[in-house]
Structure 1
Amino acid sequence: MTLTSTSPETVPGSARAHERPVLDPATGAVIATVPDSTLAEVDEAVRTARAAFDGGPWPTLTRSARARLLLRAADAIEDAAERLFRLETRNNGRPITETRAQLSRVPEWFRYNAGLLAAQRDAVLPGDGPYLTYQRRAPLGVCGIITPFNHPLLILARSLSAALATGNTVVVKPSETTPLSTLALLEILREAGVPDGVVNVVTGGRDVGEALTHHPDIAKITLTGGTEAGRAAAVATAARFARVTAELGGKTPVVVFDDVDPRAAAEGAAFAAFVAAGQSCVAGSRFLVQRGIHDAFVEALAARATAIRIGDPSDPATQLGPLVNAVARDRVLRMIGVGVAEGARVAAGGGAPELPAPLCDGFYVQPTVLTDATNDMRAAQEEIFGPVAVVVPFDDEDDAVAKANDNRFGLGAGLWTRDVARAHRVADRITAGMVWVNDHHRLEPSLPWGGVKESGTGRDAGTESFDDFTWVKTVVVRTAADDADWYGSAAPGRLN
């Protein structure tokens, strides 16, 4: 895959006829161009991956050899970390301090899955009679990974490391708005020794992703994106009985009980709402606060939001960067207007900040707090995907759980309480794939990541993801010394 660059920080390559501009969301300037892959090129990428799976060395490498290569890839990613930090920050606008904190963990996923590979044990199954029965896991084949704009490398690493560890070959389709760090990673993996054809990248828009999900040689799709994209991928893969893992939208409730200090809870929970400028599927966008501390919490959250430093994402002092593009910015501003029209009040933010050139041409939105809200408002029910926190009061524990679950999404949830029993009790009652207590958005390679309801299906990370990139073969070996002659005079007498 090639890339034409107008910046020394991006990946070098050569030009071609059909290209797509890549923007710096902090300024709106074009920083690179990438190919708009044709449907024929998608097919070629899948065929290349298929050839590498069928005839290449990757699936047949010993476990230890494949694990060593993954560990070498992790080291190479670590060595290139500073370049990747700058590249991703410039491409998606996330503040460099956040990007460093996130991407510095990418090698962990490769090391974790290398460890799972090295430690993998085949099961021996119990049974009656003279039989030894065991299971083997085999790679699926060619897997497609479709990644979003908000966390390009981290989300890719979660699936890619597991797919490679289990012996699959891969075609990656990054978001058309943030492909640069993915293309850089491809070169890093090649230099680390991953064979040609094992990891392939196609770039472009929705038609490229649809071609990948519909391709008959794709055995599994892993997709992170909107609910409608996930639904379309699920339908496409179901037609040929391929697998799909989809992490989709969210409207994460953050439940704050009145046994906490409202100021401390607001200052801690602000991270849930405003990290990555709210462009996260598990962003704490719906704060459910017990009435006794509601007003104090809103006051503290508004003060924290107002104090957040907005600016150039490459500046370590910046705490909040732009949204990814003008479409995202305009949608968020429109949803703030919808909330106000429904009766919510803006307690902080509410618009686009005034910034000096060239940042004035970027896609910024102020950290915004909407209060006087009810749980049935669109602003409290629909995913805004921006730095907007909607605060809704609740009365008691049952009311909190009912409001938290009254939503079509079920990806993540947060709880703030000092009552240990309540924390476990409420976490058990909330319908969400992940629940954090007195914190938010914490993850490890060993923690399964995914949701329920319209937030998707399947899990990334953990042994669940590792295992789902394989299929299970059961082998039954008869160990008796005599022959098995069902129709003879000494019939076994037992079929099942």
Structure 2
Amino acid sequence: MTTADIRPTVRLTAGPLATGLRIGGRVVAGRGPRLDVVNPATGGLLAIADSADRADVEEAVRVAQAAFDSGVWSRMPIHERSRILHRFADGIAARMADLYRLETANNGRPLTETKAQITRLPEWYRYNAALLLADRDAVVPMPGPYHSYTSRLPLGVVTILASFNHPMMIASKSLAPALATGNSVVLKPSEQTPLTAMLLADIAHEAGIPAGVLNVVNGLGPVVGAALTEHPLVKKVVFTGGTEPGRSIALAAARRFAKTTLELGGRSPVLVFADTPVEVAARGAAFGGFVGAGQTCIAGGRLVVHRSIHDEFLAALTTVAEGIRIGDPGDEATQLGPVISARARDRILDRIHDGVLSGARVVTGGGAATVPGLEGGFFVQPTVLAGVTNDMPVAREEIFGPVVVVIPFDGEDEAVAIANDSPYALGAAIWTRDLARAHRVASRIEAGMVWVNDHHRLDPSSPWGGLKESGIGREGGWESFHDFTQVRAVTVRTAPDDVDWYGGTATGRLN
């Protein structure tokens, strides 16, 4: 399959694939300007997408709140809600070919990578449907004649602001627990990659999720994202993206005490110790740094390598990088697709140039890549920079492209110090055959996630998120499930006599 083989899966016009907003179970035209959706592999027009304005956002949030208040989903018996989520997962599985082809065309990620990632989407809905049935309330051992217990209730309206790099996965990591716990959702996909979100909403409606419970509003971040973030009825904001936009979202949400989950920037360290076979570590580091064209917050961009194997590792990594097949993301043989836009490509190339000016050396790559037949695409060569120290901007700043830097170290303490010397703390990887060292170093790494002899692995049961400027909150596991709820304490007096504090001698306990 090539990108030319993409077939429309939502409503059509006479021209390219076109999308409307999904509000209240209906496809509606947005009142904002229509937006061109570009195929990053060709630079050509893939679709024309409606966009929302603030009035559309207001309508979507009000519809979501009305659905929540009606109880059609929020107070639905949990066994029925769980069954519908399983039907939703079944619907996603049945449309998987449409979804991964559409996503590949929309964000340029190679088909093999997209398949490997989004074929796991049903797991997220099934896992959270299971948590819904497995969750239990707690009995609180309050002294005296009282039976005290807790219960959890949904928040209300939740908004999810998804990113372009993994549109379906990023949306589903929070959509699944948000729906499972009974919330209504307004999903805003990236304006660059809105297509699969629209199809996802259609599948949800077909599965029996009531109208108004899941709404999708496409549009520009400063308009639609800001309106959702600031809306007084939105009780939680989930955002995946850059640190500075995340900071603004946190401040806006804090003004009304809304919850946030923010998965933000990263420049993840990859520590390579001398006891690891060099070829194995080089292949693993290449996967961590170049998968998704390096357009992941968790990308292993800082390779911190023991000095005794530095040169050998650099040579092995260069061989791997130069062997990566760059091409049409719709071709099963392609291993590296384009970055999302011309602007992103130019920004990445500028970062490489700045790195060279500050003393880094390009070992391989360093420029744009040309793919025959796709000359308008936004391709960047897999790039390895050496001669880098951890204080250089090319090591400290997120690049969000297929660029890794190699930094030598001499001892374990120095490796840990380099790894932790960063404003970010999303993830890290350790390559070693020493089990004791693996646990010891992992315990010292400041990061929300640490992989040993691997990278970029996730599961619905495992919490995902960062520390420091990489964000706050977690996606996945009980941590995420419960964060879409609030706790209510119920205390029942069980004594046979009545409360009469003022009728005689006051006794008992007060708070």
Structure 2 Cα separation of the partners of residues 372 and 298 of structure 1: 11
Q: Is 1:366 aligned to 2:381, yes or no? A: yes
What's the TM-score once normalised by structure 2's chain length? 0.94
Q: Deviations over 1:67-95 (max 9, x none)?
A: 00000000000000000010000000000
Gaps of 5+ in 2: 1-9, 21-26
Superposition deviation, residue 6 in structure 1: 4.1
**Is 1:431 the counterpart of 2:408 in the alignment?**
no
Percent sequence identity over aligned pairs = 58
Equivalent residue in structure 1 for 2:113, among 98, 106, 118:
98
| Distance apart, 1:18 and its partner CA | 2.2
Match of 1:39 among 46, 54, 60: 54
| Residues 14-41 of structure 1 deviation map (CA, whole Å, 9 limit, x = unaligned) | 7977200001000011111111211111
| Structure 1: segments with no counterpart, 5+ residues | none
Residue 325 (structure 1) aligned with residue 341 (structure 2):
yes
Which residue is 1:146 aligned to?
161
The answer on 1:255 being equivalent to 2:271 is: yes
Two-structure CA RMSD over aligned residues (Å): 1.7
Corresponding position of 1:204: 219
Q: Report if aligned partners of 1:3, 1:14 keep a CA contact under 8 Å in 2.
A: no
Separation in structure 2 between the aligned mates of residue 495 and residue 158 of structure 1, nearest angstrom: 43
In 1: Cα distance, 2:31 partner to 2:503 partner: 72
Q: 1:51 to 1:424 in 2, by over 3 A?
A: same
**2:38 maps to 1:23:** yes
In the alignment, does 2:172 pair up with 1:157? yes
Provide the C-alpha distance between the structure 2 equivalents of 1:321 and 1:247, rounded to a whole number of angstroms.
24
- Determine the C-alpha separation between the residues in 2 that align with 1:170 and 1:304: 43
Contact 1:343 1:372 in 2 (8 A): yes
Letter aligned with residue 330 of structure 2 = S
The answer as to 2:258 corresponding to 1:227 is: no
- Partners of 1:490 and 1:62 lie apart in 2 by 46
Is contact 1:146-1:222 (8 Å) kept? yes
CA contact (8 A) 2:30 2:53 kept: no
Q: What secondary structure is seen at the aligned counterpart in 2 of 1:360? A: coil
User: What is the distance in 2 between the residues matched to 1:103 and 1:159?
Assistant: 15
Q: Which residue does 1:485 correspond to in 2?
A: 500
2:285 alignment counterpart: 269
Q: Which moved more, 1:66-75 or 1:479-488?
A: 479-488
Aligned-partner Cα distance in 2 for 1:39–1:8: 24
What's 2:203 paired with? 188
Indicate if the aligned counterparts of 2:18 and 2:48 stay in contact, CA closer than 8 A. Answer: no
Provide the rounded CA distance (Å) in 2 between the counterparts of 1:444 and 1:5.
41
TM-score by length of 1: 0.97
What SS does structure 2 have at the residue aligned with 1:429?
A: coil
2:262 to 246, 253, 264: 246
Look up the SS of the partner of 1:480 in the other structure.
coil
Deviation at 1:342, TM superposition (A): 1.1
The aligned counterpart of 1:126 is 141
C-alpha separation between the residues in 2 aligned to 1:265 and 1:493? 66
Change (3 A) 1:5 1:319: farther
Shift of 1:428: 0.8
Shift of 1:55: 1.6
Q: Which amino acid aligns with 1:308?
A: I
Matching residue's letter, 1:20 = L
Q: Tell me whether 26-35 or 345-354 shows the greater mean CA deviation.
A: 345-354
Measure, in 2, the Cα distance between the counterparts of 1:434 and 1:129: 44
How many angstroms does 1:345 deviate by? 1.0
Q: Secondary structure at the match of 1:476?
A: strand
Kept in 2, the 8 Å contact 1:4–1:15? The answer is no
* Residue of structure 2 equivalent to 1:236: 252
- Following superposition, which runs of at least 4 residues in structure 1 exceed 6 angstroms of deviation? 8-17
The correspondence for 1:215, drawn from 231, 244, 249, is: 231
SS in 1 for 2:59: helix
Amino acid in structure 2 at the alignment position of 1:203:
N
Partners of 1:4 and 1:32 within 8 A in 2: no
Whichever residue aligns with residue 171 of structure 2, its letter is L
- Alpha-carbon contact 2:157-2:185 (below 8 Å) kept: yes
CA distance in 2, matches of 1:78, 1:493: 59
SS state at 1:366 partner = coil
Q: How far apart are residue 100 of structure 1 and its match?
A: 0.3
Corresponding letter in the other structure for 2:213: V
| 1:5/1:32 contact within 8 Å kept | no
- Partners of 2:37 and 2:45 within 8 A in 1: yes
More deviation, 1-10/472-481: 1-10
Counterpart contact for 1:409–1:452, Cα < 8 Å? yes
Quote how far apart the aligned CAs of 1:262 are.
Answer: 1.3
